[in-house]
């Protein structure tokens, strides 16, 4: 089983020219969202999710300030072979380490991307923190032979 979480992101366009004084102008636009996946759930995890929800993951995903917000639209526990998201989306996978969550996203280019010649994979990882913050963010690019492409 796996947990699939869908979010919505909104950006406050009114905050772009705000000088930080007085009330922030409100002009919110929807900007898509993310799909988060936790794989290899044990039956005890499924029971806990069904009883208590996902409060820890919610704290790591959801964020709201004057400029933008991301919030959870919903989540489901599904079979391992269930479709997680649309074909053009790239899910963010949460993996439990020894004492904390790690977020991983591996993106491959499609016909609409214009990546540098030869790059076939972008691999990102970070430690998710409360309020949508990130620590120890890393991003690496690989070629078709899975060799790390050095930055120029």
Q: What is the domain extent for residue 36?
A: 2-15+28-82+90-149
Which pLDDT score is estimated for 4? 98
Residue 36 located in a structural domain: yes
Residue 55 located in a structural domain: yes
pTM: predicted TM-score of the whole model, two decimal places:
0.89
Residue 63 located in a structural domain: yes
Residue 23 located in a structural domain: no
How does pLDDT run across 64-117, given as a tens digit for each residue? 999 999 999 999 999 999 999 998 899 999 999 889 999 999 998 877 777 877
Residue 143 and residue 120: Cα distance in Å, rounded? 5
Residue 22 located in a structural domain: no
Maximum Cα–Cα distance for the chain, whole Å?
54
Residue 130 located in a structural domain: yes
Q: What angle do CA 12, 58, 54 make, to 5 degrees?
A: 150
Domain count, the chain: 1
Cβ-contact 137, 126 below 8 angstroms: yes
């Amino acid at each position: 089983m796996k947990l699939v979480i869908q979010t919505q992101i909104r950006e406050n366009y009114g905050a772009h020219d705000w000088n930080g004084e007085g009330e922030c102008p409100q002009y919110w636009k929807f900007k898509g969202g993310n799909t988060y996946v936790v794989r290899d759930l044990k039956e005890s995890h499924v029971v806990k999710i069904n009883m208590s929800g996902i409060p820890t993951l919610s704290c790591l995903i959801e964020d709201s300030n004057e400029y933008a917000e991301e919030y959870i639209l919903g989540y489901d526990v599904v079979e391992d072979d269930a479709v997680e998201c649309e074909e053009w989306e790239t899910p963010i996978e949460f993996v439990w380490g020894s004492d904390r969550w790690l977020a991983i996203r591996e993106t491959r280019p499609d016909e609409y991307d214009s990546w540098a010649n030869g790059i076939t994979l972008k691999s990102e990882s970070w430690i998710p923190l409360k309020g949508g913050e990130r620590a120890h963010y890393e991003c690496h690019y690989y070629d078709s032979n899975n060799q790390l492409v050095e930055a120029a």
